[in-house]
Copies of this chain bind each other. A is one copy, B any other.
Amino acid sequence: MANIKKIGVFTSGGDSPGMNAAIRSVVRTCAYLNVECVGIYWGYQGMIKGDFKLMNARSVHNIINKGGTILKTARCEEFRTKEGRKKAYDQLQAAGIDAFVVIGGDGSFTGAMIFNQEFGFPVIGIPGTIDNDIFGTTFTLGFDTALNTVVEAIDKIRDTASSHNRLFFVEVMGRDVGHIALNAGVGAGAEEILIPEENLGRERLLESLKRSRSSGKSSSIVIVAEGDKTGKNIFELKEYVEANFPDYEVRVSVLGHMQRGGAPSCYDRVLASRMGVRAVEALLEGKTNLMVGVQDNQLILTPINKAIKGHTKIDKELIRVSEIMST
């Protein structure tokens, strides 16, 4: 049986909406269960430096609806070394921290897993990333919010696209996976959605745009995931289409970092609150090296090594829906 009296919590890697709600949940669950809770600033970097602060239920007042992370976040090279991890361990020991909850993506989880293997230190992960690319959970924290941010931006772009009968290429986040592109593309009513998992070629894109125009559509939105390989990049794709389809005015918009921020959606707030409770409970039950996920609207625990190695697959049904919708 575990004897956990003080739990650390931190965020790591790229930030995502809902991280603050998850921090709040971890802190308040600790308070509720009479366990001490320590905020670790700047992720693994702050762990190495001992950048710790004791937190109570009031420390996380009014943050459930704030984007970003009050504990800050960073990527940390030093933690990739044995020496770095040893320093971190010493700091945790010195501060009396018995276990930690890490909120982040697969890089952050890999660090936690190795740390656990080396020092037997209890760790639980909460998947915080807008990319939805973590195995073992249907949704990651921040994905739902990012989708809303993207469709709201594209709704605005569509106003100007349809006023001018223009074609817009809109780049959204997703270096390796097309979940944001595919879902936001369907949600925004995009004509075409280009994702890293599929490369149907730029000729097919051109054909599709021509067919769409001749069917009476006056304006079009094409969503392009960052990591898509149809063109070298979105700007060259634009040039290709302009060169081969001259009667269409083409514009490019790269949505960029605003996709990471903003007040989390209700869904992300609730999911974060639930996951924080489960993470603390799991540690107190003596569990370790697991990630909290959601499946069929129930919380589940997955071994971190599976969460990292598994691959999320693009949804074939949704690709088909997107094709039908652009009829």
Contacts from A to B (Cβ < 8 Å): 11, 14-15, 17, 19, 24-25, 28-29, 31-32, 57-58, 62, 64-69, 72-74, 138, 144, 147-153, 155-165, 168, 183-184, 186-189, 215-217, 251-263, 265-267, 269-270, 273-274, 277, 295-297, 299, 317-318, 320-321, 323-325, 327
Contact = CB atoms under 8 A, between A and B. Distances in A.
Nearest to A67: B159
B256 A254 contact: yes
A270 B186 contact: yes
Interface of A is mostly: helix
A251 to B, nearest CB: 6
A72 to B, nearest CB: 6
27 contacts: A15-B160, A28-B327, A64-B188, A67-B156, A68-B158, A72-B163, A72-B165, A144-B266, A147-B266, A147-B267, A150-B266, A155-B263, A156-B258, A156-B262, A157-B257, A160-B260, A183-B266, A183-B270, A187-B273, A251-B257, A253-B257, A253-B258, A254-B256, A255-B258, A270-B321, A273-B325, A277-B321
A261 B24 CA distance: 23
A221 to B, nearest CB: 11
Contacts of A148: 148, 265-266
Nearest to A216: B58
Contact of A318 (B69, B215, B258, B270): B270
B320 A159 contact: no
B317 A299 contact: yes
A59 to B, nearest CB: 11
A82 B318 CA distance: 40
Contacts of A273: 186-187, 321, 325
A262 B327 CA distance: 25
Contacts of A163: 11, 15, 19, 68-69, 72-73
Contacts of A157: 256-258, 261
A261 B159 contact: yes
A274 B321 contact: yes
Contact of A277 (B149, B256, B257, B324): B324
Contacts of A156: 67, 149, 257-262
Nearest to A267: B144
Most chain B C-beta atoms within 10 Å of own C-beta, residue among A184, A251, A257, A260: A257
A269 B151 contact: yes
Contacts of A188: 64-65, 266, 269
